[in-house]
Amino acid sequence: MSVTVRSFAKINLGLRIGALRPDGFHELRTVYQTIALHDVIRVQPTSGSRIEIRCADPRVPTDESNTCHRIVARALAVLKMRRGVVIEIEKHLPVKGGLGGASGNAVAALLALERALKKTMPASERLRIAAEVGSDLPLFLIGGTVIGSGRGEEVYPAMELPVIPCVIATPDIGVSTPRAFADWDAMYGVQNGTSDPPDAGDQPSSKLTRSTPSDRMLRFSHTVSAWLSGLSQNKILSGVPGSRGRGRAETPLLDLVRTGIENDFEQVVFPQYPALRQVKRVLERAGASYASLSGSGSAVYGLFSSRKLAAAAAAKLREQGVPAVVTTTLTRQQYWKKLLASSG
Ligand code: C5P
């Protein structure tokens, strides 16, 4: 039996890069948010023992390095099954775009495989093998608004938030995530957590006022937990998450981004690709309540108070030759419902 699932994308609502760890990864804190843009993954078990990846997009590797290949091989080992599997990837999301395309594809392949084989893995095993394949995979086992820590693979569901319109600009630039982390280290001389990358507002010369990576992580965590506790208090008081009587669907997410959270990758990626900074400016000028690079880019998103404003912003970008689409954030409930609804 073949199983088809949707593989959604994510954006990062703020991302703090912390210390370089002995394992070569960086400590980080972020809030992930799934969005409605997606690829389609079809999984078909076969006789034999070969895992075959099919994808019409030449930028997608079809060998053992493909994230779908890696997770399916691990899943078959956990399930103690020797089977062949054909995985078809219908690619719509950008490759190396900061939208978690390859990571989402792998999790979608895992979920489709379990259904195709009529087997269920314990949730903790799923999370373990997902984290082994990449830091950005586990978030796709939760969906909706997700708090990320550790190297990004420690994930916790945040409460459900109303859907908000967004524009995703996908300039034709591939940013390498390892390179962006290395550039961050080179910029701030980070070595195994001993040095002190500044906050964006810090003066380069004001050594005494600089904060350590762990201070910066902690501040981000405080901001996010203050936001979450505010949301839950509002829910208790009014029965509506984050409404505070304002009745605006956009409010809860925007309450978070208005706290001044930012994506540290902008500091290293924008100087290399000034066109991306320009895309962010266009979104802000077009009325985005918040605009930011997603992950290490190159996708740049804007959150809008209405679909109409979002459509106008996307049209403005396209006029300037930048591919841009209007979509929405996806709640956890929508994520699971739409992921599993076969798209034919
Ligand atoms: O986990 P993932 O495969 O996405 O990571 C790709 C590379 O990005 C890692 O090998 C590492 O160089 C870098 N990385 C990092 N810190 C993280 C996540 C990724 O340095 N938190």
From ligand 1's centre to the CA of 344, what distance in Å?
A: 34
Nearest CA to ligand 1 atom 3: 134
User: Are residue 139 and residue 259 in the same domain, yes or no?
Assistant: no
Query: Where does a domain end: 110, 137, 159?
Result: 159
pLDDT recorded at residue 53: 98
Residues 10, 91, 96, 280: which is the catalytic one? 10
Domain shared by 10 and 143, yes or no? yes
Residue 109 resides in a domain? yes
For a substitution probing ligand 1, which of 128, 181, 294 has the most ligand atoms within 8 Å of its CB? 181
Distance 48 CA to ligand 1 centre (A): 33
Whether residue 217 is found in the same domain as residue 315: yes
Across the range 38-57, mean pLDDT stands at: 96
Instruction: Identify which of 135, 149, 217, 269 to mutate to test ligand 1's pocket (most ligand atoms within 8 A of the CB).
Output: 135
Ligand 1 atom closest to residue 27's alpha carbon, by position in its atom list = 21
The mean pLDDT of 213-220, rounded to a whole number, is: 84
* 153: pLDDT strictly greater than 90: yes
Domain identity same for 9 and 132: yes
- Which CATH number does the domain housing residue 189 bear? 3.30.70.890
Look at the chain and report how many structural domains it folds into: 2
CATH code (residue 31)? 3.30.230.10
- If asked whether residues 127 and 63 sit together in one domain, one would say yes
Q: What is the mean pLDDT of the chain?
A: 89
Q: What is the residue-wise DSSP string for 19-33?
A: EEPTTSPEEEEEEEE
Catalytic residue among 39, 91, 96, 136: 136
Select from 23, 26, 30, 66 the residue to mutate for testing ligand 1; criterion: most ligand atoms less than 8 Å from CB: 26
pLDDT at 228: 87
179-194 pLDDT per residue, tens: 999 999 998 876 545 4
Backbone φ, ψ for residue 204 (5° rounding)? -55, -30
Residues 288 and 268 in one domain: yes
| 142 CA from centroid of ligand 1 (Å) | 20
In angstroms, the CA 231 to CA 161 distance is: 9
Q: Is the pLDDT assigned to residue 232 strictly greater than 90?
A: no
What pLDDT shows up at residue 44? 97
The answer as to whether 250 is a domain residue is yes
Q: Does 203 have pLDDT greater than 70?
A: no
**C-alpha distances in angstroms, 104 versus 38, 95, 289?**
9, 12, 27
Does residue 199 carry a catalytic annotation? no
Residue 54 inside a domain? The answer is: yes
- Would 21 be classed as within a structural domain? yes
**Partners of residue 155 on adjacent β-strands:** 148
Tell me, in angstroms, the distance from the centre of ligand 1 to residue 153's CA. Answer: 10
Same-domain check for residues 213 and 325: yes
The closest-lying atom of ligand 1 relative to the alpha carbon of residue 181 is: 20
Window from 49-58, 224-233, 310-319 with minimum mean pLDDT: 224-233
pLDDT in tens, 2-16: 999 999 999 999 999
Comparing 48 with 168, the larger pLDDT belongs to 168
Task: Looking at the CA of residue 150, tell me the nearest atom of ligand 1.
Answer: 21
Of the two residues 257 and 172, the one the predictor is more confident about is 172
Same domain, 201 and 327: yes
For this structure, is 10 an active site residue? Answer: yes
Residue at a domain's end among 159, 185, 217: 159
- Range name among 57-66, 110-119, 232-241 with the lowest pLDDT average: 232-241
Model pTM score: 0.90
Q: Are residues 101 and 11 in the same domain?
A: yes
d(CA 302, CA 311): 11
The whole-number pLDDT of residue 206 equals: 44
Sheet holding 300-303, edge to edge: 290-293, 300-303, 165-169, 324-328
Structural domain includes residue 343: no
**Could you tell me the residue range of the domain that residue 10 belongs to?**
3-159
149 and 101 within one domain: yes
- Domain finish residue from 159, 181, 201: 159
- pLDDT of the residue at 94: 86
3-state secondary structure of 18: strand
Mean pLDDT for the stretch of residues 209-233 = 82
pLDDT of residue 245: 44
Classify residue 242: in a domain, yes or no: yes
Take atom 13 of ligand 1 and give the residue whose Cα is closest: 178
Which protein residues are within 6 Å of ligand 1, measured from CB? 24-26, 28, 134-136, 151-152, 177-178, 181
- Domain membership flag for residue 338: no
Are 100 and 171 within one domain? no
